Each structure stands twice: as structure tokens, then as C-alpha cells.
């Protein structure tokens, strides 16, 4: 008969490797939108059409999303999750790239609000990834879920000594901390199975992610000592700060010159609203667009000052303060500033966003390697010894 399709909703358990699947989906999503926009711009925005039909790439995105949803429903192998994550990222990128057509009556693909919507959706997914990558609270239930999922390696005859050691650690935790006797017994039986001499192990073969991490760490140790890495961060933060400051300064000057002739001699000629209207309209901006533009310029100026100050602090040896300030400035740029910049510049700001993201990763790696105490609580000082008589 049919399996039961409904059951009690129980507390969800994080899937083993969920953060890797989500990261794969994020990269696929970003690459899909970037490559699609670049291809369309280079080819003059061609259309697959004939007669009354026009096959938009949102349809291909929907098809890939449907395939991605079917894979984990029909295939039990773990590779279905990775394939589904990649297809879902590509599919949602192709679909959401045409959001401008869905929110306007004129089907305007280049509607200014489209790019901020895509970027905001990507940022929300990044926030979800950061939440998912946090290690969950350990419990016998979650550890046994992960252990049963990892037993696929036994069925595929692909279990290596490193994986067996990790699997045994999970099962020992269930045996020692489990509250249900049946689950403790199940974990104990699985431990005995893993220790059986008939179990076939394969040599440990590092995966792509592990090999990449090893190569990066080796190159990091060889080519990026502390002084050289600090100089790279100082140069990158200073350059980005100068470019951002010059960009916002030139934009302010252009807007000021365009509005100079329209500025009234006094406010008695109209209300403050009329004055703002007179200021923005000569530049081709509506009142709402003008307020957003000046907010964007103000935030860009603040970001540039923070980045330049961060470079100065790093250069003078105050690394913790410098990295904290640079981190805050880059986060402000990647969130609030870029949302406004994408409204005016559309996807032309992808390169600057990638540079900001690279610097953010650089700061994070520098803090993790050379300033581990920056993310840990300060040690409690021991009380002074009593004075001697």
C-alpha cells in the first residue's frame, strides 16, 4: 500500500553536510545570475522566439528547480543532495534574473528595482548559510541521525578510517548520553559492527574541498606571512576606500552643479517639499530617487572613511581595532550600500561587490590565523598574592 504521507511534525534535525550543500547552491546562484547578465550584454540580449512564442530563461530556471526538487524525493544516494543544490542555485538564478518582468505591467527587464531584489535575496540566503553552518547543540538524537546518514558509506563500500573514526565518535556519544535504552543499544550494536573484522575499509581519499583547503593552507604558510598579509590588507582597504570616496565625491559634485541653477534664493517661494522637488528634478531624479541617491552617497562616504581608518590602524600596529573597523565597514558596504548602488548601477557593481567580499574573507582569515584572541573572551586575571608580613 501507499506509505503514510503525513505524520507528527517533530523537531527538525540539521542534515549532515547541510552547510556545504547550501554553499554550493549559493555559488551556483551567484554564478548563474552573473554569467546570464554577462552573456546577454555581450550578445545584445537575444531571444529564443518564433511567431507568438518567447521562451524566457525564467522557464529554464523553473525546469531546473523542478528537477532539483525531484532528486532528493526519488534518489536515496547522498550525491542527489549535491546535484540538487547545484541545480537549485542555477535554477533560482535564471528565474529571479527576470524579476523585473514580474513586478512591472510593462514587463521591464531593466527595471531599477530588479537588481536590488536579486541582491537582497542573495543576502538573505547568505544569512541562512551563516546560521546553518553553526554547529548545532549535541544530543543523542542529532548524533544518531548523522550516524545513520553516514552509514551510506558502508553500503557504497567507501568507508575509510577517518570516516569510521568520526562515525564511532558519534555512536559513543549516543551510548554515553542517550536517554532511551533502545537508542543506546542500537548505537552499541552499530559500534560492534564497525569494529568487526569483516568490515571493508578503503584508503582515505581527500575530497575536493579537503584538497583545496590543504593546498590553500600550504600556500598561505609559504607565501603569506603575517607582515605580507597585513600589507595586502592595508593596500586593499586603502585602495577601496580611496576609490569609494572619489566615486561618491564626484557624484556629489555632479549633482551639486546640476542643481545649482535650480536652487531657490529663499524658502518663502514654496514649502520644503517643493524645494526638495526643485533640487532633484533638474538631475533627472524624482523626489524618492533623489533621497535614495543622497542616502547612498552618505553611506558610501561613511564606508570610505571607515576603510581608510582601518588601513591606518593596521599600518600603525593596532591590528584588532583595524580589523574590527574594516569588518564593520565592509559589512555596511555589502549590505546597505550595495542595495542602493544596485538600484542605480544595476549589475555593473558586481565587480566592486566581489572585491568587498574578497577583502572581508581576507580580514576573517587574518583574524583567525593571527588574532585568535579577538574572537575569544579575555582571560580572567588571577588575584594578586597577599602581601607578605
pLDDT tens sequence across 207-248: 777 788 788 888 888 888 999 999 999 999 999 999 988 887
pLDDT score, position 269: 43
Q: What DSSP assignment string belongs to 36-100?
A: HHHHHHHHT---EEETTEEE-HHHHHHHHHHHHHHHHHH--STHHHHHHHHHHHHHHHHHHTTHH
Same domain for 253 and 310?
yes
* 45 torsion bin: left (phi>0), alpha (psi -120 to 50), beta (else): left
Q: Taking 70 as the threshold, does the pLDDT of residue 249 lie above it?
A: yes
pLDDT score, position 380: 40
The partner residues of 50 in beta bridges, in order of sequence, read 53
Same domain for 307 and 187?
no
Q: Whole-angstrom Cα distance, residue 129 to residue 22?
A: 6
User: Whole-model pTM?
Assistant: 0.77
Same domain for 188 and 165?
yes
Residue at which a domain ends, from 132, 156, 177: 132
* 44 torsion bin: left (phi>0), alpha (psi -120 to 50), beta (else): left
Same domain for 166 and 228?
no
Q: Which of 158-167, 269-278, 340-349 has the highest mean pLDDT?
A: 158-167
Same domain for 59 and 144?
no
Same domain for 113 and 146?
no
Same domain for 243 and 124?
no
Same domain for 281 and 325?
yes
Please indicate whether residue 372 or residue 262 has the higher confidence score (pLDDT): 372
Q: What's the mean per-residue pLDDT of the chain?
A: 83
Q: Give the residue carrying C-alpha cell 533623489.
A: 290
Residue 378 inside a domain? The answer is no
Same domain for 188 and 324?
no
Give the count of domains, the chain: 3
Q: Taking 80 as the threshold, does the pLDDT of residue 13 lie above it?
A: yes
3-state secondary structure of 13: coil
With b for 16 or more beta-carbon neighbours within 10 A and e for fewer, the 299-314 pattern comes to bbbbbbebbbbbbbbb
Measured at the CA of 50, the angle between CA 45 and CA 53, to 5 degrees, comes to 90
Each residue of 159-183: pLDDT tens digit? 999 899 999 999 999 999 999 999 9
Q: Whole-angstrom Cα distance, residue 186 to residue 141?
A: 12
Same domain for 346 and 238?
yes
Same domain for 169 and 145?
yes
pLDDT score, position 157: 86
**In the 3-class helix/strand/coil scheme, how is 259-316 assigned residue by residue?**
HHCCCCCCHHHCCHHHHHHHHHHHHCCCHHHHHHHHHHHHHHHHHHHHHHHHHHHHHC
Task: Tell me the three cell numbers of residue 135.
Answer: 554547529
CB 64 within 8 A of CB 91: yes
Residue 6 inside a domain? The answer is no
Domain with 29, as residue range(s), is 18-132
Q: Whole-angstrom Cα distance, residue 376 to residue 389?
A: 39
Q: Whole-angstrom Cα distance, residue 160 to residue 154?
A: 9
Residue 145 inside a domain? The answer is yes
Amino acid at each position: 500500500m501507499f506509505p503514510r504521507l503525513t505524520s507528527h511534525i517533530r523537531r527538525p534535525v540539521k542534515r549532515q553536510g547541510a552547510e556545504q550543500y547550501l554553499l554550493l547552491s549559493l555559488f551556483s546562484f551567484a554564478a548563474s545570475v552573473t554569467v546570464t547578465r554577462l552573456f546577454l550584454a555581450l550578445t545584445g540580449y537575444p531571444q529564443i522566439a518564433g511567431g507568438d512564442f518567447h521562451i524566457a530563461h525564467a522557464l529554464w530556471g523553473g525546469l531546473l528547480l523542478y528537477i532539483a526538487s525531484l532528486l532528493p524525493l526519488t534518489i536515496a544516494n547522498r550525491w542527489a543532495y549535491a546535484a540538487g543544490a547545484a541545480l537549485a542555485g542555477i535554477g533560482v538564478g535564471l528565474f529571479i534574473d527576470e524579476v523585473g518582468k514580474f513586478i512591472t505591467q510593462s514587463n521591464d527587464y531593466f527595471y531599477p528595482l530588479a537588481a536590488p531584489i536579486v541582491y537582497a535575496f542573495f543576502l538573505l540566503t547568505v544569512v541562512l548559510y551563516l546560521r546553518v553552518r553553526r554547529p548545532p547543540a549535541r544530543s543523542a538524537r542529532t548524533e544518531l541521525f548523522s550516524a545513520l546518514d553516514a552509514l551510506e558509506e558502508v553500503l557504497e563500500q567507501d568507508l575509510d578510517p577517518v570516516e569510521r573514526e568520526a562515525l564511532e565518535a558519534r555512536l559513543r556519544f549516543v551510548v554515553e548520553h542517550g536517554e532511551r535504552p533502545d537508542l543506546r543499544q542500537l548505537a552499541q550494536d552499530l559500534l560492534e559492527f564497525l569494529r568487526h573484522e569483516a568490515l571493508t575499509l578503503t584508503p582515505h581519499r581527500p575530497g575536493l574541498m579537503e584538497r583545496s583547503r590543504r593546498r590553500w593552507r600550504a600556500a598561505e604558510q609559504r607565501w603569506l606571512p603575517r607582515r605580507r598579509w597585513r600589507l595586502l590588507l592595508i593596500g586593499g582597504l586603502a585602495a577601496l576606500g580611496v576609490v569609494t570616496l572619489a566615486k561618491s565625491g564626484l557624484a556629489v559634485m555632479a549633482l551639486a552643479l546640476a542643481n545649482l541653477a535650480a536652487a531657490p534664493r529663499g524658502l518663502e517661494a514654496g514649502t520644503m517639499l517643493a524645494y526638495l522637488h526643485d533640487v532633484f528634478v533638474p538631475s533627472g531624479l524624482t523626489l524618492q530617487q533623489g533621497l535614495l541617491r543622497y542616502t547612498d552617497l552618505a553611506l558610501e562616504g561613511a564606508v570610505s572613511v571607515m576603510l581608510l581608518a582601518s588601513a591606518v590602524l593596521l599600518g600603525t600596529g593596532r591590528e584588532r581595532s583595524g580589523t574590527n573597523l574594516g569588518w564593520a565597514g565592509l559589512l555596511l558596504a555589502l549590505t546597505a550600500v550595495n542595495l542602493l548602488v544596485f538600484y542605480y548601477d544595476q549589475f555593473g557593481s558586481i565587480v566592486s561587490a566581489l572585491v568587498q567580499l574578497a577583502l572581508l574573507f581576507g580580514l576573517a582569515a587574518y583574524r583567525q590565523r593571527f588574532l585568535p584572541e579577538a574572537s575569544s573572551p579575555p582571560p580572567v586575571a588571577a588575584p594578586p598574592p597577599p602581601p607578605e608580613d
